Amino acid sequence: MAKYRKLGRTSSQRKALLRNQVTNLLYHGKIITTETKAKEVRKIAEGLIAMAVREKDNYETVTVTAKVPKKNAEGKREKQVVDGKKVTVYEEVQKEIKKDSPSRLHARRQMLKVFYPVKEVPTKGAGRKKNTKQVDMVDKMFTDIAPKYEGRNGGYTRIVKIGPRKGDAAMEVVLELV
Protein backbone atom coordinates (compact mmCIF):
# COMPACT_ATOMS: atom_id res chain seq x y z
CA MET A 1 0.00 0.00 0.00
CA ALA A 2 1.24 3.49 -0.84
CA LYS A 3 2.34 5.86 1.93
CA TYR A 4 0.76 8.89 0.29
CA ARG A 5 -1.72 9.84 -2.42
CA LYS A 6 -0.35 11.18 -5.71
CA LEU A 7 -3.41 13.39 -6.38
CA GLY A 8 -2.84 13.19 -10.15
CA ARG A 9 0.10 15.61 -10.03
CA THR A 10 3.87 15.61 -10.40
CA SER A 11 5.85 15.60 -7.18
CA SER A 12 6.68 19.32 -7.30
CA GLN A 13 3.06 20.30 -8.00
CA ARG A 14 1.81 17.98 -5.25
CA LYS A 15 4.28 19.37 -2.73
CA ALA A 16 3.33 22.96 -3.60
CA LEU A 17 -0.39 22.19 -3.34
CA LEU A 18 -0.03 20.52 0.07
CA ARG A 19 2.23 23.29 1.43
CA ASN A 20 -0.28 25.91 0.30
CA GLN A 21 -3.24 24.10 1.84
CA VAL A 22 -1.44 23.40 5.14
CA THR A 23 -0.41 27.07 5.40
CA ASN A 24 -3.97 28.23 4.72
CA LEU A 25 -5.49 25.72 7.14
CA LEU A 26 -3.26 26.84 10.00
CA TYR A 27 -3.65 30.55 9.15
CA HIS A 28 -7.44 30.62 8.66
CA GLY A 29 -8.47 27.67 10.86
CA LYS A 30 -10.46 25.89 8.15
CA ILE A 31 -10.45 25.23 4.40
CA ILE A 32 -12.83 23.66 1.88
CA THR A 33 -11.23 21.04 -0.38
CA THR A 34 -11.75 17.53 -1.75
CA GLU A 35 -11.74 14.54 0.57
CA THR A 36 -8.50 12.99 -0.72
CA LYS A 37 -6.60 16.29 -0.50
CA ALA A 38 -7.97 16.87 3.00
CA LYS A 39 -6.67 13.49 4.18
CA GLU A 40 -3.18 14.31 2.91
CA VAL A 41 -3.22 17.84 4.35
CA ARG A 42 -4.40 16.46 7.70
CA LYS A 43 -1.30 14.22 8.00
CA ILE A 44 1.08 17.15 7.53
CA ALA A 45 -0.87 19.62 9.68
CA GLU A 46 -1.25 17.23 12.62
CA GLY A 47 2.49 16.52 12.56
CA LEU A 48 3.30 20.24 12.66
CA ILE A 49 0.83 20.91 15.48
CA ALA A 50 2.21 17.99 17.50
CA MET A 51 5.72 19.37 17.01
CA ALA A 52 4.61 22.84 18.16
CA VAL A 53 2.88 21.42 21.25
CA ARG A 54 5.98 19.42 22.16
CA GLU A 55 8.38 22.38 21.81
CA LYS A 56 6.24 25.39 22.81
CA ASP A 57 7.90 26.01 26.23
CA ASN A 58 11.38 24.87 25.25
CA TYR A 59 13.21 28.22 25.37
CA GLU A 60 14.88 30.55 27.85
CA THR A 61 14.69 34.32 28.09
CA VAL A 62 18.01 36.16 28.02
CA THR A 63 18.76 39.83 28.63
CA VAL A 64 21.15 41.36 26.12
CA THR A 65 22.48 44.85 25.51
CA ALA A 66 21.97 46.18 22.01
CA LYS A 67 23.15 49.32 20.24
CA VAL A 68 20.17 51.25 18.92
CA PRO A 69 20.38 54.47 16.88
CA LYS A 70 19.26 57.51 18.85
CA LYS A 71 16.22 59.22 17.31
CA ASN A 72 15.10 62.85 17.46
CA ALA A 73 11.54 64.18 17.91
CA GLU A 74 10.72 63.61 14.21
CA GLY A 75 11.77 59.95 14.39
CA LYS A 76 14.95 60.44 12.34
CA ARG A 77 18.40 59.26 13.39
CA GLU A 78 20.57 61.79 15.20
CA LYS A 79 23.87 62.60 13.49
CA GLN A 80 27.03 63.97 15.04
CA VAL A 81 30.06 65.45 13.29
CA VAL A 82 33.25 63.53 14.13
CA ASP A 83 36.49 64.34 12.27
CA GLY A 84 34.56 66.17 9.57
CA LYS A 85 32.16 63.24 8.90
CA LYS A 86 28.54 62.81 9.95
CA VAL A 87 28.19 59.73 12.17
CA THR A 88 25.01 58.23 13.65
CA VAL A 89 24.77 58.40 17.46
CA TYR A 90 24.00 55.06 19.16
CA GLU A 91 22.74 54.27 22.66
CA GLU A 92 22.82 50.96 24.54
CA VAL A 93 19.50 49.38 25.45
CA GLN A 94 18.68 46.26 27.51
CA LYS A 95 16.42 43.82 25.63
CA GLU A 96 14.73 40.55 26.61
CA ILE A 97 14.98 37.90 23.89
CA LYS A 98 13.82 34.28 23.63
CA LYS A 99 16.70 31.87 23.09
CA ASP A 100 15.46 28.62 21.53
CA SER A 101 16.82 25.29 22.68
CA PRO A 102 18.36 23.17 19.90
CA SER A 103 15.26 20.95 19.61
CA ARG A 104 12.92 23.96 19.32
CA LEU A 105 15.20 25.51 16.69
CA HIS A 106 15.05 22.26 14.73
CA ALA A 107 11.24 22.25 15.02
CA ARG A 108 11.13 25.87 13.84
CA ARG A 109 13.22 25.01 10.76
CA GLN A 110 11.07 21.95 9.98
CA MET A 111 7.97 24.19 10.06
CA LEU A 112 9.64 26.77 7.81
CA LYS A 113 10.20 24.01 5.23
CA VAL A 114 6.41 23.61 4.98
CA PHE A 115 4.95 27.10 5.41
CA TYR A 116 4.67 29.60 2.60
CA PRO A 117 5.09 33.29 3.51
CA VAL A 118 1.76 34.86 4.54
CA LYS A 119 0.99 38.55 4.05
CA GLU A 120 -1.82 40.13 6.04
CA VAL A 121 -3.71 42.90 4.31
CA PRO A 122 -5.84 45.17 6.53
CA THR A 123 -9.43 45.70 5.32
CA LYS A 124 -9.03 49.48 5.59
CA GLY A 125 -6.10 49.68 3.16
CA ALA A 126 -7.05 46.80 0.86
CA GLY A 127 -5.19 46.90 -2.44
CA ARG A 128 -2.33 48.97 -1.05
CA LYS A 129 1.10 47.42 -0.87
CA LYS A 130 2.26 49.81 1.84
CA ASN A 131 -0.03 48.55 4.63
CA THR A 132 0.63 44.81 4.22
CA LYS A 133 2.59 43.01 6.92
CA GLN A 134 4.31 39.66 7.02
CA VAL A 135 2.79 37.06 9.38
CA ASP A 136 5.25 34.84 11.25
CA MET A 137 3.46 31.48 10.95
CA VAL A 138 5.99 29.63 13.12
CA ASP A 139 5.49 32.14 15.95
CA LYS A 140 1.72 31.80 15.51
CA MET A 141 2.09 28.03 15.88
CA PHE A 142 4.05 28.32 19.14
CA THR A 143 2.01 31.15 20.72
CA ASP A 144 -1.58 30.67 19.46
CA ILE A 145 -2.16 27.13 18.20
CA ALA A 146 0.08 25.01 20.49
CA PRO A 147 -1.37 26.25 23.84
CA LYS A 148 -4.88 25.46 22.57
CA TYR A 149 -3.99 21.76 22.10
CA GLU A 150 -1.64 21.35 25.08
CA GLY A 151 -3.56 18.60 26.91
CA ARG A 152 -4.71 16.79 23.77
CA ASN A 153 -3.08 13.66 22.34
CA GLY A 154 -3.57 14.00 18.59
CA GLY A 155 -6.79 14.57 16.69
CA TYR A 156 -6.23 18.27 16.12
CA THR A 157 -8.24 18.43 12.88
CA ARG A 158 -11.75 17.43 11.81
CA ILE A 159 -13.09 16.51 8.37
CA VAL A 160 -16.79 17.24 7.74
CA LYS A 161 -18.34 16.15 4.42
CA ILE A 162 -20.43 18.83 2.69
CA GLY A 163 -21.47 16.96 -0.47
CA PRO A 164 -20.37 16.48 -4.07
CA ARG A 165 -18.91 19.33 -6.10
CA LYS A 166 -21.11 20.59 -8.94
CA GLY A 167 -18.58 20.31 -11.79
CA ASP A 168 -17.07 16.84 -11.35
CA ALA A 169 -19.02 15.35 -8.41
CA ALA A 170 -15.87 15.06 -6.27
CA MET A 171 -16.73 14.83 -2.56
CA GLU A 172 -16.02 18.18 -0.93
CA VAL A 173 -15.20 18.50 2.76
CA VAL A 174 -14.45 21.16 5.34
CA LEU A 175 -11.10 20.55 7.00
CA GLU A 176 -10.94 22.52 10.25
CA LEU A 177 -8.96 22.75 13.44
CA VAL A 178 -10.84 21.27 16.41
DSSP string, 18-73: HHHHHHHHHHHSEEEEEHHHHHHHHHHHHHHHHHHHHHTT-EEEEEEEEEEE-B-T
Q: Tell me what pLDDT residue 173 has.
A: 98
Over the stretch 93-133, which tens digit does the pLDDT of each residue have?
Answer: 999 999 999 999 999 999 999 999 999 888 776 667 777 88
Over the stretch 66-88, which tens digit does the pLDDT of each residue have?
Answer: 999 999 888 899 998 988 899 99
Q: Which domains does the chain have, with CATH numbers?
A: 11-58+108-177 (3.90.1030.10), 59-100 (no CATH)
Q: Tell me what pLDDT residue 29 has.
A: 96
Over the stretch 145-157, which tens digit does the pLDDT of each residue have?
Answer: 999 999 999 999 9
Over the stretch 7-63, which tens digit does the pLDDT of each residue have?
Answer: 999 999 999 999 999 999 999 999 999 999 999 999 999 999 999 999 999 999 999
Q: Tell me what pLDDT residue 9 has.
A: 96
Residue 87 CA from chain centroid, whole number: 38
**Amino acid at the residue 35:** E
Q: Report the alpha-carbon distance of residue 31 to residue 160 in Å, rounded.
A: 11
